[in-house]
Structures are given as structure tokens and as C-alpha cells.
Amino acid sequence: MAAKAVCVTGAGGFVASWLVKLLLSKGYTVHGTVREPGSGKYEHLLKLDGASENLTLFRADLLNYDSILSAIAGCAAVFHVASPVPSTVVPNPQVELIEPAVQGTTNVLQACLEAKVQRVVFVSSISAICIGPNMPKDKVIDESYWSDKDYCKKTQNWYCYSKTEAEERALDFAKRTGLDVVSICPSLVLGPILQSTTVNASSLVLPKLLKGGDSFENKTRWIVDVRDLVDAILLVNEKHEEERRYICNAHTIKARDLTEKLKSIYPSYKYPSNFTEVDDYLRLSSEKLESLGWKYRSLEETLIDSVQSYQDAGLLQSQ
């Protein structure tokens, strides 16, 4: 029997690359959408075990419906991972963030409906859950919470606005059309990188701490390992539960405690010398995901493997 074909959008990205790797290891035939299939940016995908037999890269632009449809045709499941994640201020959020996230998602879902895809897993973010002035500090934040879009606009948090709008539209599209859509909302994704040619925004977080600086905000960090996230993505695709939305978070830690943990493993890096306090603690629950059997690795393992891969890629000097 031929292996089931699945499609991963934005296949060259940090999370998507690990997802492609996992899917190939499980024997899936994978269609990956990328902007320029011949580019050296995607060499790491072609070197993955099983890629020569089971991976096809499709040139696709999220805003070009036909290009998306041709990549999705014949697939039983689609993992919509592609979405712009800025590491700096965005001069034109409508063009750079909101349209690709929102219109891009609509195009992917419409193509899935037309191609009779059995299930879509939409990778959202906790940014679509917990951003707003009225988040309760004394309650557990679960999947019933949504970020406040007006507040995101007011504070020019365009990434959170785009993720919230895109996920709302995805789940609404599912209700209207009957398309089977499940969303997963990961926290900050750390872990080893598979490619050194392009660096994603989340992989800049640890190097910043390891390079030190005068003062850092003692923000709460919610963290999940990329390898545990892709396990979760596959899990929610394979389990047919009633739930439509899953938080994916493993560890909650303040920036100062994270720095101390790094210092205990890597004492010779420069670290921030002081922290200013921030009252931003929220309790996020991944209980629904854990009830499906999801497990995650220790924070130490994630930190060690991340730092090792940043050193190998030249993002960090070895100390």
C-alpha cells in the first residue's frame, strides 16, 4: 500500500523542517511548499533520511491559490505551518504579516476543501490565546481564551494580531464548511536548528541571553522543544477527538531563572547583569494535549541541544 501523502506548508522553516523530518521517518510521502525549490536554503530538507524517495518540494506562494492547490492535491492531511514571524519591527504589517497569515490561511483552507483533504492541522501560537489587558492572573489559561485583537492593534503587536485573526478564521471556516480543522498553539519554540542558512526569530532568544547586556526585563518565558511540538502536531492529526484547539507548552520560567540555569551549564558566557521586574506571569495549561499521551523532554535537554546547534551553526562562539 502506498504511504499516505501529506502536505507541509512553509517546509523550510524551523518547525516545519522538523515536522518534515518526523513525517519522513514515519514513512509518509511529503509535499513541502517553499518559495524557491532550487534554493540552497532547502538543502537540509533534501538531505533528510527518506527525502530522495518521499519528499517533493513545490513552489508555492500562500497568496497564490493555484500554487497552493497543486501542492495539496492528493494529500490526506495538511499541516499549515507557514506564517511570517518577525524578529524586528515590521514597517508594513498589513503586507508583511497580516495578509500572508490571514489571506494565506484562507487560501490553504479553501484548497484543502477543494482537494477533499481529510484533516488540517493549523499551527497557531499562544500569542492567539493570552495577549490582552484582562487576562486573569489567578486562573489557569486554557484553550477557551483568545487574545484581544483590539489590544493587539493598539499596542502594535501585529504578530499576535495576525495569529489571532488567522486562527479565528480557520476555526470559523471549519464550522461553516465542515472541513476538519484542528489548531495547535505552541509557546516559544526552542531546540536544535536543522538549517544554518536562515535563522528564525525564536532561535535568537537564547543567544541574546548568552551574549549578555546591561539590563533585561525579567519576563516570563513559556517554552516548548521543537521536537516535542512536532510530536504533538502529528498526535493531534492522528487522534480524532472532539477538541479543536490545543495549547502546547512544556516549561514556564522567568528570564532570570532561565539565565541562572544556562549559567550553571555554561559558566563562561557573558550574561545580563541585572533584570527589571515585569508582572506578566500566567498559568498556561497543556492538559488537553497531555490527555492524548503527549510527553515532553526536560528544559535542560532543550537548552543543551539548542546551544550546541547554535555553536555548530556559528550563531554562538563556543566557550
What's the CATH code of the domain at 115?
3.40.50.720
- Looking up cell 524551523 gives 14
Q: How confident is the model at residue 255 (pLDDT cuts 50, 70, 90)?
A: very high
Of residues 2 and 204, which shows the higher confidence score? 204
Residue 210 resides in a domain: no
- The closest of 272, 268, 274 to 307, measured between CA atoms, is 268
pTM: 0.95
The Cα 144–Cα 163 span in angstroms is: 16
Which residues does residue 252 pair with via DSSP β-bridges, in sequence order? 222
Quick one: cell of 125? Answer: 501560537
Q: What is the mean pLDDT of the chain?
A: 92
Residue 299 resides in a domain: no
Residue 11 resides in a domain: yes
192 pLDDT more than 80: yes
Residue 277 resides in a domain: no
Residue 142 resides in a domain: yes
Tell me what the mean pLDDT of segment 186-201 comes to. Answer: 86
- Roughly what angle, to the nearest 10 degrees, separates helices 99-114 and 65-72? 50
CB 135 within 8 A of CB 144: no
Residue 255 resides in a domain: no
Q: Catalytic pick from 149, 163, 254, 263?
A: 163
Which residues does residue 58 pair with via DSSP β-bridges, in sequence order? 33
Residue 206 resides in a domain: no
2 pLDDT more than 70: no
Q: Assess whether 175 carries a catalytic annotation.
A: no
Q: What is the pLDDT of residues 22-64, one digit of tens each?
A: 999 999 999 999 999 888 889 999 999 999 999 999 999 999 9
Tell me what the mean pLDDT of segment 261-280 comes to. Answer: 92
What contacts 237, CB < 8 A, 6 or more positions away? 77, 79, 119, 121, 182
User: What pLDDT is attached to residue 203?
Assistant: 82
Q: How confident is the model at residue 1 (pLDDT cuts 50, 70, 90)?
A: very low
214 pLDDT more than 80: no
Range of the domain at 162: 5-189+223-249+286-291
The total of structural domains in the chain comes to 1
- The closest of 263, 281, 280, 261 to 271, measured between CA atoms, is 263
Question: Which of 76-80, 143-147, 197-201 shows the lowest per-residue confidence on average (mean pLDDT)?
Answer: 197-201
User: What pLDDT is attached to residue 257?
Assistant: 96
Q: What is the pLDDT of residues 88-106, one digit of tens each?
A: 677 788 888 888 889 999 9
Residue 120 resides in a domain: yes
